Amino acid sequence: MKNFQGVEFDVIVSAEAKSIPLAYALSVETKKTVHYPAQSYKPYMGAALIAETLSITTGEPQTLIMDEKDQEGVRDKRAVIVDDVISTGSTLQGMRMIMEKAGAKNCR
């Protein structure tokens, strides 16, 4: 939590991957909602937003998908993006792209 002192944010966003426990713990500690862009499209997602990145883990393209419901939850909100490992930054870039498309503000 020390790393988040002085950072004002409304929601947490984390890829549907190994960072889920970290994002969940931050959500519990801060009492902020967390949104997880998925890796595959499901029919209930409606008009989903999609971003593609290159996974450092597999070396394969990775798809990040934010469903309609989550888009409403981040629109006009200050979002903090949580990831477990930063090597190439491609997952963070994909999450930033989705958040910008969804209308979030100040993605960090």
Residue 4 scores a pLDDT above 90 = no
User: What's residue 90's pLDDT?
Assistant: 78
The 10 Å Cβ neighbour count of residue 84 is 14
Residue 107 scores a pLDDT above 70: no
Using CA atoms, how far apart are residues 73 and 32, in angstroms rounded to an integer? 11
Interval 67-98: pLDDT, tens? 998 999 999 999 998 887 766 677 888 888 88
Question: Could you tell me the pTM of the whole model?
Answer: 0.83
Listing DSSP states for 8-28 in one string gives --SEEEE-SSTTHHHHHHHHH
At CA 60, angle to CA 43 and CA 11, rounded to 5?
Answer: 55
pLDDT in the model for residue 77: 94
- pLDDT above 90 covers a percentage of the chain that reads 44
For the chain, the average pLDDT equals 86
